[in-house]
């Protein structure tokens, strides 16, 4: 057999439990046993899970600080025919976890990348939140610095889809306080804590209520969190903001109504008919 006849390896992206070890799939275990190498975010952490299930496959560490260096070597191994599985500490790799560079490089090298789906805190949390799930925006972790965090939240203020964030125990209270500040305290929210673990808690209420609950009980600030927020109320298509009305008024002072409404629609993105109606009102006021 020549080198070019040799089959390239397969890169499996394997989801592992987010707490409860029973949540690993039968297929995940089969793949983890069958591959020659498991690339793991933290080998000591993954060894516990693997030992629990009697998986003796060799481990190689791939974390956010060495991923770029290790990727090159792993891709070479895959090209040489070695099957590799990627796991992270918990849940689905690449979801706020390492693996992006490896998957991208493997795909660019023509290697088959196969998902072995399973737990992810994001989906588990959404499935019990009681908030709309037809559209959601996953924002991962908010910035740790307050200024940057508030800027990000302000940019999300008009988003109508359900918002989903990851957060850790030491920032959860500050994060909720900034959400109240930037998005208002009356938004419906769900806080999913320690899912599938002993202290699993799912709290629902307005942002104000959830913040008060956390501040009153420091136990509720411990563990791992998914924060989910109701999206902003959809904008009334007939509503005109002050800036758009000003654009219309300026154009109307120079142009006939029909032309002013058409131009204002192109500038503001609002409906031409709505602007025409508003133009009539402005003309009446003059
Ligand atoms: N790859 C993982 C996944 O698919 O969910 C996420 C990894 S990210 C580094 C870790 C964050 O996920 C935690 O800080 C928390 O926000 C969330 N998370 C992980 N496990 C969780 C759990 N059991 N309950 C609630 N949130 C969890």
156 CA to centre of ligand 1 in angstroms:
21
Give the number of the atom of ligand 1 that is nearest the alpha carbon of residue 122.
Answer: 5
Nearest CA to ligand 1 atom 8: 96
* DSSP-derived secondary structure for the chain: --GGGSPPPEEEEE-B-SS-GGGS-HHHHHHHHHSSEEEESSHHHHHHHHHHTT---EEEE--TTTHHHHHHHHHHHHHTT--EEEE-SSBSTTSSSS-HHHHHHHHHTT-EEEEE----HHHHHHHHH-S--SSEEEEEEPPSSHHHHHHHHHHHTT--SEEEEEEEGGGHHHHHHHHHHHH-TTSEEEEEESTTSTT-EEEEEEHHHHHHHHHH-GGGGSSEEEEEEPPPPPPPTT---HHHHHHHHHHHHHS-HHHHHHHHHHHH---HHHHHHHHHHHHHH-
State if residue 230 touches ligand 1 by the CB under 6 angstroms criterion. Answer: no
Give me the percent of the chain exceeding a pLDDT of 90. Answer: 90
pLDDT score at 242: 87
pLDDT tens by residue, 134-143: 999 999 999 9
| pTM (two decimals) | 0.85
Give the number of the atom of ligand 1 that is nearest the alpha carbon of residue 95.
Answer: 1
180 CA to centre of ligand 1 in angstroms:
23
pLDDT tens by residue, 196-217: 999 999 999 999 999 999 999 9
């Amino acid at each position: 057999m020549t080198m070019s006849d040799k089959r390239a390896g397969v890169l499996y992206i394997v989801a592992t439990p987010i707490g409860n070890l029973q949540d690993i799939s039968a297929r995940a275990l089969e793949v983890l046993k069958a591959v020659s190498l498991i690339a793991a975010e933290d080998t000591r952490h993954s060894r516990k899970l693997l030992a629990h299930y009697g998986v003796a496959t060799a481990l190689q560490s791939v974390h956010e600080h060495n991923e770029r260096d290790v990727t090159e070597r792993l891709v070479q191994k895959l090209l040489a025919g070695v099957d590799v599985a990627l796991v992270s500490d918990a849940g689905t790799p690449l979801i706020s976890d390492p693996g992006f560079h490896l998957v991208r490089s493997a795909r660019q090298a023509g290697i088959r990348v196969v998902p072995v789906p399973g737990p992810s805190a994001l989906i588990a949390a959404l499935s019990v939140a009681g908030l709309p799930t037809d559209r959601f925006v996953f924002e991962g972790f908010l910035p740790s610095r307050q200024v940057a965090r508030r800027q990000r939240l302000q940019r999300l203020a008009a988003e109508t889809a359900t918002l989903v964030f990851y957060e850790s125990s030491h920032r959860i209270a500050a994060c909720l306080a900034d959400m109240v500040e930037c998005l208002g305290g009356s938004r419906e929210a769900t806080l999913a804590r320690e899912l599938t673990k002993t202290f699993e808690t799912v709290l629902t209420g307005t942002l104000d209520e959830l913040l008060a609950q956390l501040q009153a009980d420091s136990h509720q600030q411990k563990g791992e969190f998914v924060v989910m927020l109701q999206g902003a109320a959809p904008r009334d298509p007939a509503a005109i903001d002050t800036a758009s009305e000003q654009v219309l008024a300026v154009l109307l002072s120079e142009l006939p109504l029909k032309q002013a409404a058409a131009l204002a629609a192109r500038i503001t993105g609002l409906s031409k008919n709505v602007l025409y109606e508003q133009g009539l009102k402005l003309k009446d006021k003059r």
